[in-house]
Amino acid sequence: MKSSRPFYTLILSLAFIIISITGFAQKPVNWTPDHVMQPSELAQKLNDSSTALPVIISVGPGALIPHSIVVGPVQEEENLAKLTNQLKGLDRKKEVVVYCGCCPYEHCPNVRPAVALLKELKFTNYKLLDLPHNMKTDWLDKGYPRVKL
């Protein structure tokens, strides 16, 4: 009877290679948990008129959160330039919240360039709105404030 050990070794080796390749293909996260704001926290700030609002910037295809500044998808150079211009006039200590919500973070082409720019410009109080799935699931379906369309 032939041993099936070489076959299983080959299969396990291929599985390991595939997992390794897909793991390296993912874009690294360039923010820390300290730089993530929960949607409920931003919603509370929007609902409390006695609270100073942060600068809220949509770096995705649209803006559904009230008081958002729309710069558009920053994967596009012209929109990244718009974001740069918006940020250059702000105090580096001002609270700034950026969000996209187009897709899950691991696939989003917009949040990483936005966070990288905030770091590059030496902002100290920036937050990425925690929308790990998308705008619908993580904001709209929870009944948080939205722009009336």
Give pLDDT tens digits for 94-123.
Answer: 999 999 999 987 789 999 999 999 999 999
Give me the count of residues in the chain.
Answer: 149
Task: Check if CATH label 3.40.250.10 holds for domain 28-142.
Answer: yes
Question: Which residue in this structure is represented by tokens 């290679």?
Answer: 17
Exposure of 122 in the CB half-sphere (CA atoms within 13 A)? 3
Scored b (16 or more CB within 10 A) or e, 88-114 reads eeeeeeebbbbbbbbbebeebbbbbbb
Listed by start position, the domains of the chain span 28-142
Task: Read off the pLDDT of each residue in 11-38 and give the average, rounded to a whole number.
Answer: 61
Q: Which residues of 23-38 are buried (b: 16+ CB within 10 A; e: fewer)?
A: eeeeeeeebeeebebe
**pLDDT at 64 > cutoff 70:** yes
Predicted pLDDT at 30: 77
